[in-house]
Amino acid sequence: MTQDSRGAQRLTEKLGVDIDAELLDLALTHRSFAYENGGIPHNERLEFLGDSVLGLAVTSMLFTRHPELDEGSLAKRRASVVSTVALAEVARGIGLGEHLRLGRGEERTGGRDKDSILADAMEAVIGATYLSAGPDTATAMVLRLVEPLLEDPERYGVAMDPKTGLQEIAARQGLTPPVYVIESSGPDHDRRFVATVTVGELEMTGEGTSKKTAEMAAALSAWRLLNQRVSA
């Protein structure tokens, strides 16, 4: 058994599903790797499919479990569970980053731990599961993975609005309000944003395909660190 196949086996064991090897390989292939290797297929089509599977699974679950919630409340909760920062948290929980196929540039800049790359790959894996094992298995896997996000009410609320969560915890700890600085790079059709948030003496960064998602990623990272300090 090769190192790649052993890695794929470890990943499918964590996911609790059997996924076609070629589809899983495709789901883990970032476009940066594809472009550096002759324009081979990458995971964005599977990501498109997985996004729909994820959305339907979470929507059905929330609708069934929370008959007391109105449409607006259901929509907010769904948005938090399927957000980039939430999916990246799920991906880190199964060690998805170590299995990604990335181009040299992304390797050098820490692509294996970038929220946007992890979230996109997570959706691609969901899409691969749907094609390999069918909708029921894919739905069950999704619900199993997102369950921890729903069990921690404070984290759940912060994932939905990390900037507000950071502002509140900073105030409780007597720190200065968060200040954000945005930098961007890349061509217009593939713009990437990096946000740096400063809270007291703490600085954290986050990346996204928009200023908003980058700020949210940075805010969530800073909130986690401040929350750990309180819990320690």
pLDDT (tens digit, 9 = 90+) per residue, 179-194?
999 999 888 777 889 9
Q: Answer yes or no: is 123 a known binding residue.
A: yes
Give the helix/strand (H/E) hosting 185.
strand 179-185
Is residue 54 over pLDDT 90? yes
Helix 84-93 to helix 115-133 angle (10° resolution) is 70
51 is catalytic: yes
- Predicted model pTM: 0.74
Q: Is 60 exceeded by the pLDDT of residue 2?
A: no
Asked whether residue 46 carries a pLDDT value surpassing 90, the answer given is yes
Band of residue 165 on the pLDDT scale cut at 50, 70, 90 = confident
Active-site choice (25, 51, 89, 215): 51
| Cβ-based burial of 122 (10 A; exposed 0-12, middle 13-18, buried ≥19) | buried
Give catalytic status of residue 123 as yes or no.
Answer: yes
* Active-site pick, 25, 89, 123, 207: 123
Is 152 annotated to bind a ligand? Reply is no
